[in-house]
Amino acid sequence: MQQAYYQRSPYNLVRIILGLPELFDAERNESVYTRAARDFRAWREQGILIQEKSPCIFAYSQRFTVPGTTQVKERRGFIALGKLHDYGDQVVFRHEQTLSKPKSDRLNLLNATRAHFGQIFMLYSDPAASVEQILFDGAGAPDSEVTDEYGVLHRVWRVSDPAVIRLVVTEMADRKLIIADGHHRYETALAYAREHPPASLPPIESSVGQLPHPAYPEAAVMMTFVNMDSEGLAILPTHRVVHSLEGFDAEQFTRAAEAYFTVEKLPEGAAGRYIGILRNQAGTAFVALTRGGALLLKPKLDAVARALQHLPERQRQLDLSQLHTIVLERLLGLDPEKIREQTNIRYLRDANEALEQVLDGDADIAFLTNPVTMEQLKEVAFAGDVMPQKSTDFYPKLLSGLVIYALD
């Protein structure tokens, strides 16, 4: 995708947010980050990117077919600046652990460009859908629209009427937020704000008749706010592929797994068939793929409860908690640091690709999982707990570059 975007246009945003390292001149001390900053500055000077003349928020709609089904959904939200909060403030809640490498990359890009090019995907609760009604009822033709390579139709409406913006701000004032996607970006923005406090804060102006604004530019980040009570949400599973293990033996793994799980050998078939079997399980379950065949693993409740006794009850019931703590750590010997650094593990949306990597010898074993439900996510996040990293895959992704927040 990176290569395709490069070829599509000299002004494709991939050149800023994910530059190709081989195009940069090490002798001139150039890096993907310094080149990104240079391109971003040039695009602004040339009028490729244009500054809005008045404060705006942006209504954002995504119409899509849920992968693996014929179901068509529309997810609606809006893009605006959101104040950065420490998790301890209990305004913004995370739901999963983060990985080290993506945060380092995003921080380097932010340091170089002083701009946010993508949005944090935030969930808020609004059973009455009041915010959506304000923004979408009677909406005319969008200001821009594009269909991506997955067939998702993205549409954006510019909203600059101060009265409408105030209505939205009022409705959102006391909402708590869960990060659906963008934990790494959020924590990067938070770290950057701490590293760049203002020399002195400007005097607080009267808010009467004024639109709210950040105390200083680094104190906010772009967010797309989506109603978690909407029917337009879709969460997909993220499968685990484990590779480069020393002396991995499928039969030995099976015997070890039987201490915690009932292990059922599945007939040979395509990945889609295994996903279908998973969907029909009443409780926790996952499928292990090895070159010797596929296995359905279902927990032995007493054994799993003992192994996970250090976790809260709500976490013990999660497929991924059992998979990470018992299987990856205890049975396969991947300590949390290896998992965090992705030393021996890859995360894939496509179950077919996971199976192919095992059969081709590019992986030792892969695990197919069911998706986390919205109820599970809410329960864990609002309790202040976290799931293992890459627990959720909200589909579709938000497009980067629809709106850019430049700090300078």
The pLDDT tens digits of the residues spanning 176-223 come to 999 999 988 999 999 999 999 887 665 555 444 578 888 899 999 999
The pLDDT tens digits of the residues spanning 340-349 come to 778 899 999 9
**pLDDT computed for residue 206 by the predictor:** 46
The pLDDT tens digits of the residues spanning 136-147 come to 998 899 999 999
Segment 352-369 shows an average pLDDT of 96
**pLDDT computed for residue 129 by the predictor:** 96
State the pLDDT confidence band at 30, using cuts at 50, 70 and 90. Answer: confident
**pLDDT computed for residue 104 by the predictor:** 84
| Partner residues linked to 146 by β-bridges | 154
**Is the separation of the CB atoms in 115 and 182 below 8 Å?**
no
Q: CA–CA separation, 50 vs 62, rounded Å?
A: 24
**pLDDT computed for residue 100 by the predictor:** 65
pTM, entire model: 0.87
Helices and strands in the chain: count of H runs, count of E runs: 15, 18
**Is the separation of the CB atoms in 326 and 308 below 8 Å?**
yes
Could you give phi then psi for residue 204, rounded to 5 degrees?
-75, 125
278, containing H or E segment: helix 271-279
State the pLDDT confidence band at 282, using cuts at 50, 70 and 90. Answer: confident
The pLDDT tens digits of the residues spanning 225-255 come to 999 999 999 999 999 999 999 999 999 999 9
Q: Which residue pairs from 338-345 have beta carbons closer than 8 angstroms and sit at least 24 positions apart in sequence?
A: 339/388, 339/389, 340/97, 340/99, 340/100, 340/389, 341/99, 341/100, 341/101, 342/99, 342/101, 343/244, 344/242, 344/243, 344/244, 344/245, 345/240, 345/241, 345/242, 345/243
